[in-house]
Amino acid sequence: MDLTALPRRRYTDGPTPLQHLERLSAELGGPEIWVKRDDLLGLALGGNKTRKLEFLVADALARGADCLVTAGGVQSNHCRLTLAASRVEGLACHLVLEEDLGADGAAVPDGNPPEDTGNRFLFDLLGAETVEVHPHGADLGARMEEIARELEAAGARPYVIPIGGSNALGALGYVDAADELLRQVDEAGLEVDEIVTPSGSAGMQAGLVAGLHAAGSGIDVVGINVSRSREEQEPKIAALAREVTQLLGLPEVPREKVVGLGDFVGPGYALPTPGMVEALRLFARTEGLVLDPVYTGKAAAGLAARIRSGELGPGQTVVLVHSGGVPGLFARTAAFA
């Protein structure tokens, strides 16, 4: 897919590695497992949002913006990377954060990850102009628009980036990533059966399924949901994939190509599960590979469970996308005690 006509900033030199996890594959006794290292994308400590920001920040600059406004959870990787991009481009940045929920579904302001560690520490280190923290369930989108109006009234030129950078423009980063991955798969001589991704705000998965479909690839993309049930998440992925194909004038992605499994969410978004803890230890101790606890950790737990159940087995090849977010691990060490 040729995206060269679209405005784009480049924050990563070259493709991210595609690595064979030989010892992990032997340990689980199932398919050959490879990992796409999008935790090594550019900007501050990397992560999948960097691909989206290459298109979103380019659009902001083309529109003459002098500041970015975005939102996410209290340990948001997207907010960290948006803030890092703003520093690279000389833009101001305003962050709107939402408190976590507890395992019982109640807001837990006192139980949120500490303010002085993980991404919260990096928000301070990178020097966000403003950081607001709101109760869980607050309308972050409305607050972003309100901040944008306040900034405009003060003479600024704000650009609002949605949570996770997950609109059609941001998802183009993963349309491009699909082409990148297909080239790597071809160079390695692989026959890949499935790509496994974390699925949250859905931009990564929607871009991948749109890009693979446009390329005529039959590789399945299976999302492991980190915050919603399958019934809630799959329409969200499908709708965003449809917006991407409409933006690019591509054939619509068949509904059966959209899969978001809701069996590994646990008590809620960003809340640890025993499977996630076990998966992080497994990947670290077999491959020296550190995952994050919110996204790839739950995706890895889902992958391991599906291998152990026999759903995925010998003779198959699977690629796990490491979406980054490792700084958030340091705010959730209590789960590993």
Q: Give CA–CA dist 206/122, Å, rounded.
A: 28
Bridge partners of 70?
A: 95
Q: How many CB atoms lie within 10 A of CB 71?
A: 27
Bridge partners of 197?
A: 223
Q: How many CB atoms lie within 10 A of CB 146?
A: 13
Say which residue the tokens 């999948």 belong to.
48
| Residues in CB range of 186: below 8 A, 6 or more apart | none
Indicate the burial class of 137 (C-beta count within 10 angstroms; 0-12, 13-18, 19 or more).
exposed
Residues with catalytic annotation?
Answer: 76
Q: How many CB atoms lie within 10 A of CB 82?
A: 30
Q: Which pair of structure tokens corresponds to residue 12?
A: 């990563």
The upper half-sphere exposure of residue 337, i.e. CA atoms within 13 Å in the direction of its Cβ, equals 5
Whether the CB-CB separation of 253 and 259 falls below 8 Å is answered with no
Q: Which pair of structure tokens corresponds to residue 199?
A: 């699925």
> Which 3 state secondary structure label does DSSP give 231?
helix
Bridge partners of 320?
A: 35, 196
Q: Give CA–CA dist 88/94, Å, rounded.
A: 15
